[in-house]
Structure 1
Amino acid sequence: MAYNLISSDQQTQYSKMTKNKTYASLVIGVLATVVFGSAAYSQSSDALIDKLVDKGILSVKEANDLREEANQDFNRAYQVKTGMSDWVNSLKWSGDFRGRYDGIYQDDKNFGPTPGKPNTYANQDRTRFRYRARFGATVSMTDNLEIGLRLGSGDLSSAAPSLGGSIFSANTTLNNDGSRKFIFVDAAYAKWTPRDWFTAQFGKMDNMFWITDAIIDYDYQPEGAQERFTLAATDNQKIQFTSGQFVIAENFNASGAGPNNDAYLFINQVDWTGKWTPKFTTRLGLALMNFKNQMEIPASLQTFINQNGTPASGIGAQNFNPVIARAEATYALDSFPMFKGEFPITLGAEYANNPAASSAPFPGKNYSGSANEAYNLGVIFGSVKQKGNWQIAYNYKTIESAVAWNGLVDDDFGFNTKGGTDVRGHHIKAWYRPCDPLTFVMSYFITEQISNVPGTLAHQQRLSP
């Protein structure tokens, strides 16, 4: 005779629990087989668990517990397999590739006389095919620490290899019969975020300042330290204070016969972001730049920079301590033809003034009272955050020669095939994103020198991404 010590209801519940455990074991087993199956692991495991919840096999709590257990198993297995320390939370790979056509077209009437010499201004066009390749890794660790390393392509910008690659870009020119090309350290930094409202970085890193390329090239990778404090006054109002301490030149001369004071750049900025309605946002910023030992910047570095405008040291140098004000407003339309989702329109303006510039005439140039000013006015239509969408931007810029150091300013917007200061003109840029990994970009520049003396001309057009 057999005795059933479990009631029928209990038996049903027991069978269900046993079945759930069986399914849970099955799920964990399936997850284990894909534990090293790349990023598809997370998506496939979540989909499997969600399906079991939909069928009533697992409760929401059981599903969450299972996800947590699977993640822990994955982390343990990954650490064992790779030898990764248990204080490493994640390792993220990143990279991109850009192919580029760069056409620089000069006005054939360009003429810049130097006493006793023929024309010294560019009047010949230049065509280049170029690429930029970058690959990096970011390690996220416990206690809110992060380190990053990014390698990038680039050309040697000087006959002295010790000076490295270009300050302004990682572009490599297709040239020299298929010769092997260089790889440089594009970024190498440590980052600490002990609180949501504070972050600090040290090394060679991405520039955190909200300043346009009329003052600092978007591809400029400063070296030194930078910090940011964020105050979220409300859910829709945020104030940020950003500070940077950057090394410009490390000077050492044991004999004392040359410069022996290091040159540094300090930048401080406060900016305020406000979201007034779900469709309307604004942002305002004010920044100040200061050099220490600016006049100790070596002539070799100025030659390496190879930009138009007033140098930071030597003959004709000015002190560069500009004040930069920037404002931006964005409104999103509900829809727009040939665009998916809300259609943002952004109006922006930036003004810079360098009160430290002297009023002395620049060598070979006419001085004007506005030679220490710059402004950048622009509008942006659309966005390429979503595939299938497009974006168009227009900017008019005036960058006088004594407003900012040419060692920081955009190297694409210029004249005589060089960027820098003492230039004004138009910049039109368009983007189209047909699919997530691919974006087409085209830029068109129409520029001219501002302070050319009578009888000279420096007009340029440029077509590139």
Structure 2
Amino acid sequence: MSQTSNSSSRLSALLLAAMACAVSPAVVSAQSADSATAPGLPATPTPNATINLIRLMVERGLLPAADAAKLVEQAETEATQARAAITAAAQPAPVAPPPLEPDTVRVTYIPANVKRQMIEEIRSDVMAEAVAENWAAPRTFPEWVAKYKFFGDVRFRYEGDFYPDGGVPGGTIDFNRINTAAPVDYFSSTSTAQPPSYNADQTRERFRFRARLGSEIDLADNFTSGLRIATGESSSPVSQNQSFGASGGNFSKYALWLDRVFLKYEIQPKAGSSFSAIIGRTENPFFATSMIWSNDLGFDGLVLQGKRKVGENLTPFFTLGALPVFNTSLNFGTDSTASSGGGKAYASQDKWLYAAQTGVIWNINNDLTLKAAIALYEFQNVEGEVSAPIDATTLNTTSGFIGSTDSSRPGFAQKGNTYIALRELTNSTLPGAGNFQYFGLATPFRELAATARLDYNHFEPFQVSLIGEVVTNLAFNSGDIASNGPTQLPGPRNNNSFSGDYEGGNVGWNVNLQVGAVALQKAWDWTAGLGYRYVESDAVVDGFADSDFGGGGTNLQGYTVSGNLALSQNVWMGVRWMSANSIAGDTFKADVLQIDLNAKF
């Protein structure tokens, strides 16, 4: 018998002995009345014999109620333990599982919630190690690499240059070729040489390409910097085209140029508002068309830009620029043998562009947006200046001679602007005297321009845009041009009529209609355009104007038809046909066909 059963038997024996020693009937009668209300005792008989015996002893007055309650509690505890022991003894002993076959694999069942927790813990540990060792994500780079943004593009072009009948061969003088080489005795009474001129009658076909690669670097704290290199047959500021077979031919390698380099600081105090300061060589910061500034032109100097959103629909903006056009050579004039002081450096003739533009972007409604601006482009010292007197008889024998104003000639030019001779030559009529000349612009330039673009987006994703621009050179004076120049070669050297009257002008305008996708973002997106321009000889500086229309420059009028078709997100084709005729001077006609294949990355 178990220990619990023995304890219960001893308790019952003690209780029976107590009953044998019963006290007087009077005592029994007095205590029985309290038994019914004694706390901890059942009011009625229970299945437990021991508890019933305790209850009976209390009723007979043999046991105080308080002691009985303790005994009942002990009896219930011992009964519970006895039942548990009996239940455990009745359960069969566990049977060992049968032995496993040698190749058997035992898989322990894991609840789903436990598996999920284990997976998350393992993943966290692995990713932490991967990030620390920088091997888990192949497109993840060190932090410093993320600060660099690389970009580039390539373009392959067929270009056909056609010259309709009626053009005057030799009629359009190439002053740029004269000014970028040694002066030649073109205009003396004894010279038979003809000045170099632009092709006006022979068709030319060229296969060309352009490649550009750049990077912008995030310097933190609102600073960025940028670099870009580009191709180009020369240092021309208005073209990055390289013709296959040019630059020496025979599969010679092609040159690369530093095309952009800048440092920029920009803040954006709130949405739609910003201010930036840029120093270096940057993209065109002005809202303008290629009639004034070629699309490939970069600007040197300091530029300030800002815009601020006013209300829901208006965003005024401004651009200011101080841009060096030419810087005088440190030793300019020191190798001259001029009688005015050989070996003495000449005064500087630095050239600058000071520009200011202000405008507004107006969201008229959901379909119409207007962007309009007015700008003043003030050029300093770009016009030619007549030199101090030079003895013409010394020019045949003196090597490396430099006139006091030779650097006032343009460092680069296209065609169209009016020119004057620069050197004031004495004794030019004597036997053996030469008339070796350079040429400079006949007028100063202070260009006032108004530019506007109206976008209509009712037919999204297609857009219809009307772009217009008008410019006038406020510094132009035809009377001053007629009297300008050296004594022996006064007045303008080009843009004259057959009778010798000056025909140049100072006004330019153009208008373009464009339809199609806002941007070529996916295959089969397309755009089409039709434009007309009229640019008189001295409306703008020809060296900075469009280099494609009419072969580049000013003194041109005509139309342009264009179209573009996307072949993928980053590859597209383009076609342009440009037909131009001269306005003043000898007749010049040029038609240009361009077929492009472009890619960007």
**In structure 1, what is the Cα distance between the partners aligned to 2:219 and 2:593?**
43
**Which position in structure 2 is the counterpart of 1:275?**
363
- Check if 1:307 corresponds to 2:307: no
**Which position in structure 1 is the counterpart of 2:541?**
405
Determine which of 429, 442, 448 is the counterpart of 2:581. Answer: 448
- After TM superposition, give the deviation of residue 298 of structure 1 in Å: 5.5
**Which position in structure 1 is the counterpart of 2:213?**
135
In structure 2, what residue type is equivalent to 1:356?
Answer: A
CA contact (8 A) 2:456 2:465 kept: yes
Distance 1:307 1:119, change over 3 A: closer
**In structure 2, what is the Cα distance between the partners aligned to 1:249 and 1:298?**
13
Comparing 306-315 with 183-192, greater Cα deviation is found at 306-315
Determine which of 508, 515, 535 is the counterpart of 1:381. Answer: 515
- How many residue pairs are counted as aligned between the two chains? 391
**In structure 2, what is the Cα distance between the partners aligned to 1:432 and 1:410?**
23
**Which position in structure 1 is the counterpart of 2:233?**
155
- After TM superposition, give the deviation of residue 267 of structure 1 in Å: 1.3
Within 5 Å, give how 1:274-423 maps onto structure 2.
274-295=362-383, 302=410, 304-311=412-419, 314=439, 317-334=442-459, 342-360=461-479, 361=482, 362-364=492-494, 365-366=496-497, 371-383=505-517, 384-387=519-522, 388-414=524-550, 418-423=551-556
**Which position in structure 1 is the counterpart of 2:86?**
none
TM-score by length of 1: 0.76
In structure 2, what residue type is equivalent to 1:457?
Answer: T
CA offsets per residue over residues 389-434 of structure 1, 9 Å max, x none? 00011110011111111121111112xxx31111011011211111
**In structure 2, what is the Cα distance between the partners aligned to 1:373 and 1:442?**
29
Determine which of 234, 237, 243 is the counterpart of 1:167. Answer: 237
- After TM superposition, give the deviation of residue 219 of structure 1 in Å: 0.8
Within 5 Å, give how 1:247-266 maps onto structure 2.
247-252=324-329, 253=332, 255=334, 257-266=345-354
- After TM superposition, give the deviation of residue 169 of structure 1 in Å: 1.4
Distance 1:150 1:113, change over 3 A: closer
**In structure 2, what is the Cα distance between the partners aligned to 1:374 and 1:141?**
42
CA contact (8 A) 1:394 1:428 kept: yes
**Which position in structure 2 is the counterpart of 1:111?**
168
- After TM superposition, give the deviation of residue 28 of structure 1 in Å: 5.0
Determine which of 203, 222, 229 is the counterpart of 1:144. Answer: 222
**In structure 2, what is the Cα distance between the partners aligned to 1:171 and 1:441?**
16
CA contact (8 A) 1:167 1:305 kept: no
In structure 2, what residue type is equivalent to 1:170?
Answer: Q
Comparing 271-280 with 365-374, greater Cα deviation is found at 365-374
**In structure 2, what is the Cα distance between the partners aligned to 1:28 and 1:435?**
39
CA offsets per residue over residues 242-284 of structure 1, 9 Å max, x none? 1111111110326455451311111111121111223221111
Distance 1:251 1:276, change over 3 A: same
2:383 partner SS = helix
CA contact (8 A) 1:371 1:402 kept: yes
Q: What's the C-alpha RMSD, in Å, of the aligned pairs?
A: 3.0
- After TM superposition, give the deviation of residue 34 of structure 1 in Å: 5.4
CA offsets per residue over residues 39-62 of structure 1, 9 Å max, x none? xx5xxxxxxxxxxxxxxxxxxxxx
- Check if 1:37 corresponds to 2:144: no
- After TM superposition, give the deviation of residue 22 of structure 1 in Å: 3.7
**Which position in structure 1 is the counterpart of 2:394?**
none
Determine which of 203, 207, 211 is the counterpart of 2:288. Answer: 211
CA contact (8 A) 1:228 1:241 kept: yes
In structure 1, what residue type is equivalent to 2:413?
Answer: I
2:221 partner SS = helix
1:443 partner SS = strand
1:239 partner SS = strand
In structure 1, what residue type is equivalent to 2:253?
Answer: R
- After TM superposition, give the deviation of residue 205 of structure 1 in Å: 1.1
Determine which of 203, 216, 221 is the counterpart of 1:125. Answer: 203
Long gaps (5+) in structure 2: 1-110, 172-186, 335-343, 385-404, 423-438, 483-491, 597-601
**In structure 2, what is the Cα distance between the partners aligned to 1:248 and 1:119?**
25
**Which position in structure 2 is the counterpart of 1:101?**
158
In structure 2, what residue type is equivalent to 1:427?
Answer: T
Greater C-alpha radius of gyration: 2
**In structure 2, what is the Cα distance between the partners aligned to 1:112 and 1:15?**
88
Determine which of 282, 296, 302 is the counterpart of 1:225. Answer: 302
In structure 2, what residue type is equivalent to 1:211?
Answer: A
Select the structure that is richer in strand.
Answer: 1
CA contact (8 A) 1:269 1:288 kept: yes
Identity percentage of aligned residues: 23
- After TM superposition, give the deviation of residue 109 of structure 1 in Å: 2.8
In structure 1, what residue type is equivalent to 2:243?
Answer: T
- Check if 1:183 corresponds to 2:319: no
- After TM superposition, give the deviation of residue 354 of structure 1 in Å: 1.1
**In structure 2, what is the Cα distance between the partners aligned to 1:182 and 1:419?**
22
CA contact (8 A) 1:259 1:298 kept: no
CA contact (8 A) 1:191 1:201 kept: yes
Comparing 308-317 with 391-400, greater Cα deviation is found at 308-317
Determine which of 130, 149, 154 is the counterpart of 1:92. Answer: 149
**In structure 2, what is the Cα distance between the partners aligned to 1:284 and 1:193?**
23
Long gaps (5+) in structure 1: 1-10, 42-73, 157-164, 335-340
**Which position in structure 1 is the counterpart of 2:22?**
none
In structure 1, what residue type is equivalent to 2:368?
Answer: F
CA contact (8 A) 1:310 1:421 kept: no
In structure 1, what residue type is equivalent to 2:443?
Answer: Q
**In structure 2, what is the Cα distance between the partners aligned to 1:109 and 1:93?**
49
**In structure 2, what is the Cα distance between the partners aligned to 1:329 and 1:349?**
9
2:553 partner SS = coil
CA contact (8 A) 1:245 1:265 kept: yes
CA contact (8 A) 1:151 1:187 kept: yes
1:305 partner SS = coil
- Check if 1:433 corresponds to 2:433: no
**In structure 1, what is the Cα distance between the partners aligned to 2:383 and 2:281?**
23
In structure 2, what residue type is equivalent to 1:343?
Answer: F
CA contact (8 A) 1:143 1:194 kept: no
- After TM superposition, give the deviation of residue 18 of structure 1 in Å: 6.0
Comparing 427-436 with 307-316, greater Cα deviation is found at 307-316
1:322 partner SS = strand
1:154 partner SS = coil
Distance 1:369 1:17, change over 3 A: farther
In structure 2, what residue type is equivalent to 1:168?
Answer: V
Distance 1:106 1:236, change over 3 A: same
